[in-house]
Amino acid sequence: MTEVPADHPRHDSLVTRHRIEEGVDRGITSRQGLIAQGRGEAFDYLLGERTIESADAAARVAAAHLLSARHPVLSVNGNVAALCSAEMVDLADAVGADLEVNLFGRTDERVRAIAEHLREHGAREVKGLAGDARIPNLSHERAKVDSDGIYDADVVLVPLEDGDRAEALGEMNKIEIVIDLNPLSRSAQVAAVPIIDNIIRAVPTIARHARELRDSGADLDALISGFDPHAARSAAERAIRGSTDDDSSRSPF
C-alpha cells in the first residue's frame, strides 16, 4: 500500500480504496467488490461524505432493534471484512450478536479466510462455515447460511447492497437493517431500517448508540415504533440531490 499523506484532500477515500485492494490480495474481497466500492463512493460524495441526521437517527433505531432481538446476526461479506472487521466485532460485542460470513462468490477457502480475518480482529466465534441451511427463493450461493445463525435470526444486519437476499430475508419475516449508500437500491427499499451512510461511519455509530441505549435504560419499543423507513430514504435522496425540499424530480447527476 502506498502511504497516503494525512493532509491529502482525499485521504480517507484513498485509504478505503487501499483496504479493498488489500482484501482482494488476501483472498477476502472479490474483484467485483472493487466495482461495488466505487459505486458506493460516488453516492457518498453526493452525500458530502458525512452522516446526515436521518442516517444517525436510523442507526439509533438499528441499535434498538439489535438490543431487543431474540437472536441478532451481523452478516459479513468480503467488502465488509476488508473495510471494518474490528468495528463489526465491536458492534457484535455491544449488542450480543453473532457474526456470520455470507458470500455471493462463496468458496470454502474464502469463507475460512474471512472468518480468520475476523478472529484476528477480536471475534471469538464466526458462523458461516457450516452452510447447513438455505434461504428460500435464492438460487445462488448467498442462500447458504448456518441453521443456528442467519436462518434462525429474528434481526439481521445486512451491510452493503444485496437486493435479492434482502428481499428473500424479508419474506422470512426477519427484521432487516441495511447499510447502503443508495436509497433507491432494492436493499434499502425493503429494509425495516435503511441506514443511508458509509459503512465505515455507520457501524461505529450503531455501536455507540447501542451502548448509550443499553446504559440509559431507554424505551427501545418507542424508538422502534416511531421510525419511518420511507422518511429516512426520502431524506437521504433529498440530500443526494442537493435539496432540502420534497422535489424528487431532479436528477443528481
The count of structural domains within the chain is 1
Please state, in angstroms and as integers, the Cα–Cα distance from residue 172 to each residue in 76, 136, 202, 228, following that order: 19, 8, 25, 21
For residue 245, is it within any domain?
no
Tens digit of each residue's pLDDT (9 = 90 or more) over 150-175: 999 999 999 876 778 888 999 999 99
For residue 133, is it within any domain?
yes
Which cell goes with 27?
483472498
Half-sphere exposure of 75 (CA within 13 A, CB side): 29
Q: Where in the sequence is the domain holding 60, given as residue range(s)?
A: 53-240
For residue 160, is it within any domain?
yes
Half-sphere exposure of 219 (CA within 13 A, CB side): 5
For residue 5, is it within any domain?
no
CATH code, 165: 3.40.50.12640
Tens digit of each residue's pLDDT (9 = 90 or more) over 18-67: 666 676 667 677 666 566 665 677 888 889 889 999 999 999 999 999 99
> Which pTM was predicted?
0.86
